[in-house]
Chain A
Amino acid sequence: MIGAGLTIVGLLLVLSLAAAVLPNGPKTPVLVYGASTALCSGLAAIGFSALAASADPVGLILPIGLPWLGAHFRIDGLSAFFLLLLGIGGAAASLYAIGYGRHEHEPHRTLPFYPGFLGAMAVVILSDDAFTFLLSWEVMSLLSWALVLTHHRAEDTRQAGYLYLVMAGFGTMVLLLAFGLMAGSGGSYDFAAIRETGRNEMLAAAVLMLMLLGAGSKAGLMPMHVWLPVAHPAAPSHVSALMSGVMTKVAIYGFVRVVFDLLGPLPWWASPVVIVAGALTAVIGILFAINDGDGKRVLAWSTIENVGIIFAGLGLAVAFRANAMPGLAALAMTAALIHAMNHMLFKSLLFMVAGAVLNATGRRDLDALGGLIHRMPVTAALALVGVTAISALPPLNGFVSEWLMFQSVLQSPQLAQPGLQFLVPAAGGVLALTAALAATAFVRFFGVIFLGRARSDPAAAASEVDRWSLGAMAGLAALCILAGVLPGLLIDFVGPAVEIASGDRLVSQASNAWFTLVPLPQIDSSYSGFLVMAFVAIVGGGAAWTVHRIASRGVRRGPAWDCGFPNADPITQYGAGSFAQPIRRSFGPVVAARETVFMPPPGDPSAARHAASTTDLAWRHLYTPLIALVGALATRANSLQFLTIRRYLSLVFGTLILLLVGLATWN
């Protein structure tokens, strides 16, 4: 199994090199993306079979890399689950790219890096020692940076690339520190040895904080999230789907592997940090999503929100584990992992939709779109599935993970620490607020893009996209529906991964009647997605059938009523900024919202102007002062460039004396 996985990774790297040397014909993208689809499906199959068989972990050591270490690889329940996630996401994105890639002007800027990116992510998941992990993490960051810079002629893309590189470097540095602390002095770097090493709770907590910073920066946790809303939208849409849907989950895999598998026992006071970070990230992220006017940036902020939800669930799992309640930790961990899978499914779908709209109209900003449900009916229907799923509405899959999260919040009275007993319901309230705000954000997203009337000529002249893109989106939509209707299967599937991370797994759901979910049999709270879907379909269909029998069937088309004052200009309908206005007014301080109105003086016939803007407070209060500090230090240090020869010599002399003194005192 592991051998097959590594072979596929090898093939992906070979494909990358081949794509660099292949000629620039129209067939090359099809070849590269087609091969990527097949290889990713292979990875998914490996993950699936490893989970289904619940086999024991299998390891492999290759004699490459550091001579005294080699390269360790292992596939166990946790890595199989994330391999499955990567495989599905990668296959869908590659299938989509077969159609989407035709519109790329410079395909040679994407093709050589794309399969390698997929391969690097797979190696991160499969790696079993710190060196391989960090090396593949860095390769993943570098290749995705190259992919972000595809449209390098735009100024903001270049800035996005620069910011991404800085944040990625910061993340890797912090991860290096974390692994160094874990291995200890003279300790070995392979995961098996790290797992065995005993360490005291303070050190474990310190490593957790470092992992929160390092993995969190790649996943998009606040306040290290600033690169996500600029970098994810700048990349081509299939790459955005991969970065948002899969790469953030690979970062979460890193966090789960280190904190839950390698670290050992953690103190209970580490969990409030994770829970608060997750909950705040979620609510602030979705508020920015509601206020943003660019379609892909809305999706990027929503990724930040969902990553926050996942981390809140992981924090709950830490709390339950620290209180020696593995069963409840399993519930929280199941909720978090299933949310990771669900988010990959619907976020990739939505980024593909955004890419399809971009292809068809050439516009990304929401206020230039509209009425696309008439021009792109299939895309609109699939987008509807995506937005319903991401808003956590039954009977789709988003609701399943939300429900499991709330069930685990409701178990908080069993925690021993009163601080946690207060914090967890408050965090639950924040998560509930986040879910309601997510529905708002996606009513806005779908409504402004697809409903209403077209606000610009490109939107009025759009046409449906190609079969490959539609096929990929349809596959993801079908998986969303399936995961919502058969949640018990998904829970049973993720069981081996949960067992590694929290020491226990939820009871098997396969034996429940009507595919019901009963996660904690002693509590007797249940939910059946299948039955809810069946009832809603039967009742809805029955109502339509009955009404069409007993009521009039007449339909007449006419102009819109609009209270008797219809306005033909599409600009008078609600747009992205106006839809967000009530939320902007209510939550203004959180997003530093400002509305400025320019009124011309009396007698001036020029138009009045209204502008609404939001500012990322993390950027204003954390990053700008930091950048200013770095600039100030650099300016001071600049004077070192203009010293005389005597000064340089004295610098060398001083350093030599210092080292000799150090040597003397140390000995």
Chain B
Amino acid sequence: MPDLAFDIAHMLAGSLVLVSFMMIYQDRLSALLNTFALQALLLAAAVGWQAYIQGASHLYASAGIALVFKAIIVPWALHKMIQRLGIHREVETVVGVVPTMLAGMGLVALSILLMLQLTETAESALAREDLAFSLSVILLGMLMMVTRRNAVSQVVGFMSLENGLILATTGAQGMPFVVEISVAFSVLIAMIVIGVFLFRIRERFDSVDTEAIEHFRGEKRS
């Protein structure tokens, strides 16, 4: 049933965008990490479903990686980091929740408009839709990074951005396995680096509020 297959893929991709919105809505750090785990879970389901309907077995491995690393290990590691560093559990935003969500809506509309226009010649409706949704998730991840003061939430935004990239590559068929591994490793390394960075910030300033660093820049910007 091609219709049902399309509908389920549409449902999973749409839920991914929905969960990205939910991440913007959270105001507590532990809830944010749980939402991120949910997003990774949905991503694994979406990639697995794509593997099933495309008959591409290497995508099962991608789904597995997403499930194990991003849905289980990374949130657990970040939870532990928060506990160990005693980081302030509240997510401080630059503007309120409602303007951020409005901006998010605008970004989703923009990416859908753009992607549907750019891919007019593509045959697979599924691929076009996945590209539109994944650009939305990428932009929402960037929005999260830009509107949050807490470094941990910026890291989560970065990771959700990467989830969007994975969705894009599964939709466009034929991504070889090796690219997936390298992408995953680069993200892992980025996480380690950011984790070390966080430790250092915490040691120096007793907080991970990135605003505090502004004090020590060369030219003071008022």
Contact = CB atoms under 8 A, between A and B. Distances in A.
Are chains A and B touching directly in their complex (CB below 8 angstroms)?
yes
Interface of A: 418-419, 422, 426, 586, 589
Nearest to B108: A422
A586 B96 CA distance: 10
A418 B99 contact: no
A115 to B, nearest CB: 49
B112 A422 contact: yes
B117 interface: yes
Contacts of A586: 98
12 contacts: A418-B113, A418-B116, A418-B117, A419-B113, A422-B109, A422-B112, A422-B113, A426-B105, A426-B109, A586-B98, A589-B96, A589-B99
Nearest to B98: A586
Contacts of B112: 422
A520 to B, nearest CB: 27
Contacts of B98: 586
In the complex, which of the residues A418, A419, A426, A586 has the most CB atoms of chain B within 10 Å of its own CB atom? A418
Interface residues of B, number: 9
A422 B110 CA distance: 9
Interface string B78-116: 000000000000000000101100000100010011001
A423 to B, nearest CB: 8
Nearest to A588: B96
Interface of B: 96, 98-99, 105, 109, 112-113, 116-117
Contacts of B117: 418
Contacts of B113: 418-419, 422
A419 B117 CA distance: 10
Nearest to B105: A426
A586 B97 CA distance: 11
A597 B112 CA distance: 46
A419 B110 CA distance: 9
Contacts of A419: 113
Given A419-B113, A586-B98, A589-B96, 9 more contacts: A418-B113, A418-B116, A418-B117, A422-B109, A422-B112, A422-B113, A426-B105, A426-B109, A589-B99
In the complex, which of the residues A422, A586, A589 has the most CB atoms of chain B within 10 Å of its own CB atom? A422
A419 B116 CA distance: 11
A418 B99 CA distance: 24
Q: Pick the 10 closest A-B CB pairs, nearest first.
A: A422-B109, A418-B113, A419-B113, A418-B116, A422-B113, A589-B99, A418-B117, A422-B112, A426-B109, A589-B96
B90 to A, nearest CB: 19
Contacts of A418: 113, 116-117
Nearest to A587: B98
B147 to A, nearest CB: 14
A428 B216 CA distance: 48
A586 B117 CA distance: 36
A418 B96 CA distance: 30
Contacts of A422: 109, 112-113
A353 to B, nearest CB: 34
B130 to A, nearest CB: 18
A193 to B, nearest CB: 41
A589 B97 CA distance: 12
A418 B113 CA distance: 7
Nearest to B99: A589
Nearest to A417: B113
A586 B105 CA distance: 19
A293 B59 CA distance: 63
A419 B109 CA distance: 9
Contacts of A426: 105, 109
A589 B96 CA distance: 10
B209 to A, nearest CB: 23
In the complex, which of the residues B112, B113, B116 has the most CB atoms of chain A within 10 Å of its own CB atom? B113
A587 to B, nearest CB: 9
Nearest to B114: A418
A589 B112 CA distance: 28
Nearest to A421: B113
A426 B105 CA distance: 10
Contacts of B99: 589
A403 B31 CA distance: 41
A589 B98 CA distance: 11
Contacts of A589: 96, 99
B69 to A, nearest CB: 35
B13 to A, nearest CB: 18
A33 to B, nearest CB: 49
A422 B105 CA distance: 11
A174 B103 CA distance: 34
Contacts of B109: 422, 426
A177 to B, nearest CB: 33
A646 B113 CA distance: 65
A419 B106 CA distance: 12
A211 B117 CA distance: 32
Contacts of B105: 426
Nearest to B110: A422
A418 B112 CA distance: 10
A259 to B, nearest CB: 26
Nearest to A419: B113
A89 to B, nearest CB: 38
B115 to A, nearest CB: 11
Nearest to A590: B99
B204 to A, nearest CB: 34
B112 to A, nearest CB: 7
A418 B116 CA distance: 9
B85 to A, nearest CB: 33
A391 B109 CA distance: 31
A586 B98 CA distance: 9
A590 to B, nearest CB: 10
Nearest to B106: A426
A621 to B, nearest CB: 17
A422 B96 CA distance: 24
A422 B117 CA distance: 14
A259 B137 CA distance: 41
Nearest to A418: B113
Nearest to A589: B99
A563 B109 CA distance: 50
